[in-house]
Amino acid sequence: MSQHKIGFNTAVSVVIANMIGTGVFTSLGFQVMGLQSGFSIILLWIVGGVLALCGALTYGEIGAAFPESGGEYNYLSKLYHPALGFLSGWVSLTVGFAAPIAAASVALAHYVTKIYPQAQANVISFSVIIVITAVHSVNLRAGSLFQRGFTWVKIVCILMFVGFGLFYVPQHHISFLPGPGVWTDIFSTAFAGSLIYVVYAYSGWNAAAYISGEIANVKQNLPRALFVGTLVVMAIYTILNYVFLYTVPVSELKGTLEVGYLSANKIFGSQVGQFMSLVIAVLLISTISAMVLAGPRVIQSMGNNIHGLRFFATANKNNVPYVAIIFQSIIALVLVMTSSFESLITYVGFTLNIFTFLTVAGVFVLRFKFKQLTTSYKTPFYPITPLLFLSVIFWISYNVVREKPTESLYGLITVAVGLVVYFLTNNKKKESRKS
């Protein structure tokens, strides 16, 4: 029997589902605390989209050159050194996917408890993670069907939400035209600080790279899936945030996690608005599912290459890395109990940016060091595309270090611990070879 392969449509759905989730339904409340202009906030989401597109276009070339599963773990090991690949995998293994899964499940529980206050938030978060883990631990085909189904439901519901929102007559004044001092706003630390939430919301544009070894016709389908998925999400994010700002006064949005709940109440009234809020909660299931599907492939790839982590490469008869899936979900469950939402996003966003920065920079290494590799896909507008991505990510990271030193330090400590584990693993390998 031939092994089931992931097609282009499922690969696109993995990208879209990974991206559309926690960030877009929760982060606007934090952004409006530093930015008041509708133009600045919409521009924030457009900049984030262009940034994600630049990253996706560049990853497409690297992924076509190295089409195995594993994402940054695979790319950085080949482009730079196995130590860097290990560190990116270590971050994925510990928090890279588990933390966003935890954040999405917490956001889901927040939306549900707004409607059903008697419900236990932690019980909801736990139940969702456990059920999705069970689905993806059994069979890739079943997981793919689950993923595609929830992704299309997500897109249709969001488009309906936006459609009704555009016909709503707001009770407050909001302008989306550039006003006086708008450029000062755009180049402020508040704009850079808000971008970390936007970059987090767009994270997932590289999701198909983690499962590229299981994608049919990968050298063609991977770059297309990354680009199409990111472009669709950029359009959805921009118009969705327009609707949020258009329907809810900024004063009510400030510091609020459930911006979708507030907007739904304004558009549909309290009763229908509660139902739409419940729909948003269901939509987050697709996000959790996509990360449960993609993340363990990185851990599995590390287990195949590193003797000390071989346990994580264990797969069932359907070649599903169920040990890695369960391990990742256990970490997510621990984070649900121990971490605050805002600090979690900043910490994860900063840490992941280190490795996406190095991977995008790797396209220059690829063209210099691997000239013999010929691929059907090259990064459009090279070198402007990767350089634009690198410049903005560096600017964001610099401002995060200044404004959020604690979360930045935790990110660097996570990487440092991974480096220690790498050298300990290497020493053990050398000793076993000598004996």
Give this prediction's pTM: 0.75
Cα–Cα distance between 204 and 294 in angstroms, integer? 10
Tokens, residue 376:
């059907």
Task: In whole angstroms, give the CA distance from residue 103 to residue 101.
Answer: 6
pLDDT of residue 360: 94
> How far apart (Å, rounded) are the C-alpha atoms in residues 344 and 33?
18
**pLDDT score, position 435:** 42
According to the model, what pLDDT value does residue 144 have? 65
Q: What is the pLDDT of residue 413?
A: 92
Residue type, 299: I
Cα distances from 132 to residues 135, 326, 392, in angstroms, run 5, 10, 35
Q: Give the torsion through C-alpha atoms of 125, 128, 130, 136, to 10 deg.
A: -140
Q: Is 162 exposed, middle or buried (0-12, 13-18, 19+ CB in 10 A)?
A: middle
Which neighbouring-strand residues pair with 215? 6
Which CATH number fits the domain 8-424, given the four candidates 3.20.20.120, 3.40.50.720, 1.10.10.10, 1.20.1740.10?
1.20.1740.10
Run of H or E residues at 385: helix 384-403
Q: How far is CA 36 from the centre of its chain?
A: 26
* pLDDT attached to residue 249: 85
pLDDT at residue number 150? 67
Residues 65, 71, 72, 77, CA torsion sign: negative
Average pLDDT per 10 consecutive residues for the chain, totaling 435 residues: 65 77 75 80 89 88 78 86 87 80 84 83 88 77 67 76 82 74 76 81 76 73 83 88 86 80 82 74 78 75 74 76 84 83 78 90 90 77 93 88 86 90 67 44
